[in-house]
Amino acid sequence: MSHLKNYLVFIGEQYYPAGGWLDFKESFETREEAKKFVEKLVPEEYDWGQVIFIGDDIHEELVTEFYYHDRRFNSATREFNDSTTWADSID
């Protein structure tokens, strides 16, 4: 059985989240690795991603980061506009 690394990645869909550990995808040693994984996977298949630090480094400032994929229909152009962004909280 493998051990969890310092950064946990949870990814899901807005309308059909699995919930809790069912949204868990992978763990990584560094924040950069976790964020790259989220940035690749979320826009392709999901609506959101979350990176959670569970290590014991007291110098780690940010505990949780959220990544959002927003897709909106523009009725004027009749096209979808996609955007993605990182945030440190849910608004």
The pLDDT tens digits of the residues spanning 46-55 come to 888 888 888 7
C-alpha 78/C-alpha 82 separation (Å) is 13
Name the more confident of 68 and 89.
68
When pLDDT is cut at 50, 70 and 90, the band that residue 42 belongs to is confident
When pLDDT is cut at 50, 70 and 90, the band that residue 88 belongs to is low
C-alpha 68/C-alpha 87 separation (Å) is 8
C-alpha 86/C-alpha 18 separation (Å) is 21
For the entire predicted model, the pTM comes to 0.69
Among 47, 39, 51, 44, which residue's Cα sits nearest to residue 15? Answer: 47
Torsional sign, CA 64, 3, 21, 12: positive
